[in-house]
Structure 1
């Protein structure tokens, strides 16, 4: 097997790590391309474990990149959400591998972590690396890596999506949500949301969205009620299209045929517990259905 083929075989895993670390397709692609350049320059034939070498370089590059992105993200207008990975819906059961560790809500929670904590947590909890492998990737001791994973778990707390709906139930809730918000019926919307549901919207300072997270079913329902009334007044056409967003059913939202935002949902079995809205135009380029992607 050639060095290039070895890299291509491992590229989906490297992209999965880079995307979960950096949160955008562009940054993840750049990181993986940089890894490939270094792989070509290395004495690849003498590398004992190509996967370990490539994962280590990818991880360290992403840590450095996250540090350089810190200032930009701290000055970002409103909440920062990861760029959604959109794909066509093949069936109600279609999900990406380990989609619970790919959701927009999960990636938002990871923003609480330092770059080293994020890398250690992802390698251990998502990609099943042992502490010796993580220590090699981060060039730290196993004890230090154990401490990083422990701190990450403490900072993340109890995941909101612990009790997850089946794909069919998740689909039903998303479809009912689309119908309820199109009509602006507050009662119907509230009935679909957990009492402590959360909505986070990313407009990047260019798209009109709420600038602060909304907590609670009533507040979220009122927001969609107001949007429905405004669209009715303007005689604007609202359209939802079902798509896979980071491995789970979500929605494209279009106003008069123009893509406005991508909606991602977390469901807990009976209700919608979390809604992420990505409306920043810079993050919507990958939402074209003609170019589905499932690298992670």
Structure 2
């Protein structure tokens, strides 16, 4: 197989790995491109297992980026959320655990980990690597990788995957949520929301949105009823599969202006994450009407 073609067969997988390590689609694209440049310059005759070699390169590139990214995010205006990405760009997600691993909720939790803990956890949980394989990627002992994994799992111990209804049911609930918000129907909104619901909004300080989480059924219902009334004319809404779940996509003249990712727990909405920072929506363009 030609070198370029061999790399391209793995590009989607490598993007998924880099994205879960970084939480930024743009940085993930850059890391994958840097990996291609190294692949292009490498002595490929000496590479016995191209997939393992590329996974190691991408992981190390991301580890370097994570250190500087953390410092940048500490200066971020308002809530920081990962870039939303269409689910189909994240590779085959065959199990509920895999879909949960790419959710915005889990990616936010991964920010609690050190770069090494995050890499070990992602390789183990999302990509099914064994500890020996992870040790080869990380150039650490197997015992050290097991310890990093245990520490990462302890940091994320409070996260319990919620019961996800079918895609059809999620879209039905999302439609009810959107209709209730548009009509300012507080009672209908409250019927849909979990009592302990939290809503986060990330505009990077560019839009007049809540800079702190809004918590509680009553407050979140009022927040969305009020926010919908302030939307400009010409905003269209559609649904899309984003980060393994259902999201409402807001567009104006075909340009995506915001993503409202909904987190479900059975028949209730347990969390809402709004991403409206234009710098984070590059992978969400062109989804209107999907």
TM over 0.5: yes
Aligned residue in 1 for 2:150: 150
For 2:276, the equivalent position in structure 1 comes to 279
Matches of 1:4 and 1:255, distance apart in 2 = 38
Contact kept, 8 Å, 1:182 with 1:228, in 2: the verdict is yes
CA contact (8 A) 1:86 1:288 kept: no
Deviation at 1:166, TM superposition (A): 2.1
Residue number among 254, 259, 263 corresponding to 1:262 in the alignment: 259
Quick check: 1:221 aligned with 2:221?
yes
Measure the CA separation in 2 of the matches of 1:214 and 1:230: 17
Question: Following the alignment from structure 2 to structure 1, what is the Cα–Cα distance between the partners of residues 209 and 39?
Answer: 42
State the distance in 1 between where 2:87 and 2:106 align: 19
Any gaps of 5 or more consecutive residues in structure 2? none
- 1:91 counterpart residue number: none
CA distance in 1, matches of 2:200, 2:51: 36
| Structure 1 position 259, deviation (Å) | 4.2
For residue 111 of structure 1, what is the aligned residue in structure 2?
111
User: Helix, strand or coil: the match of 2:237?
Assistant: strand
3-state DSSP of counterpart to 2:259: strand
The answer as to whether partners of 1:31 and 1:58 remain within 8 angstroms in 2 is yes
Listed as ranges, the matches of 1:1-296 within 5 Å are 1-86=1-86, 97=94, 98-231=98-231, 236=233, 238-254=235-251, 259-289=256-286
Deviation at 1:176? 1.0
Contact 1:237 1:257 in 2 (8 A): no
Separation (CA, whole Å) in 1 of partners of 2:87 and 2:133: 32
TM-score, length-scaled by structure 1: 0.89
Shift of 1:246: 2.0
Q: Tell me, in whole angstroms, the C-alpha distance in 2 between the residues paired with 1:259 and 1:288.
A: 5
Q: CA deviation at 1:236?
A: 3.8
What displacement does 1:238 show? 4.9
Larger mean Cα displacement after TM superposition, 95-104 or 206-215: 95-104
CA contact under 8 A between 1:242 and 1:251: conserved in structure 2?
yes
Q: What is the alpha-carbon distance in structure 2 between the residues aligned to residue 246 and residue 85 of structure 1?
A: 6
* Cα displacement (A) at 1:285: 2.6
Q: CA deviation at 1:239?
A: 3.3
Deviation string 1:65-124 (CA, Å, 9 cap, x unpaired) is: 010112110000011111111479xxxxxx855322211122111111111111110000
Tell me: CA distance 1:225–1:147, structure 2 relative to 1, closer, same or farther (3 Å): same
Whether the 8 Å contact between 1:166 and 1:269 is mirrored in structure 2 is: no
Range with bigger deviation, 34-43 or 127-136: 34-43
Q: Distance in 1 between matches of 2:238 and 2:288?
A: 16
| Alpha-carbon distance, 1:249 to partner | 2.1
In 1, Cα distance between equivalents of 2:46 and 2:275: 44
Contact kept? 2:236, 2:252, Cα under 8 Å? yes
Q: CA deviation at 1:229?
A: 4.0
The alpha-carbon distance between structure 1 residues 213 and 290, as it changes in their structure 2 partners (threshold 3 A), is closer
Alignment partners' CA distance in 1, 2:9 and 2:235: 42
Q: Tell me, yes or no, if the aligned pair for 1:182 and 1:238 is still in contact at 8 Å.
A: no
Runs (5+) with no aligned partner, structure 1:
89-94
CA drift of 1:18 comes to: 0.4
**Structure 1: how far apart are the matches of 2:11 and 2:87?**
19
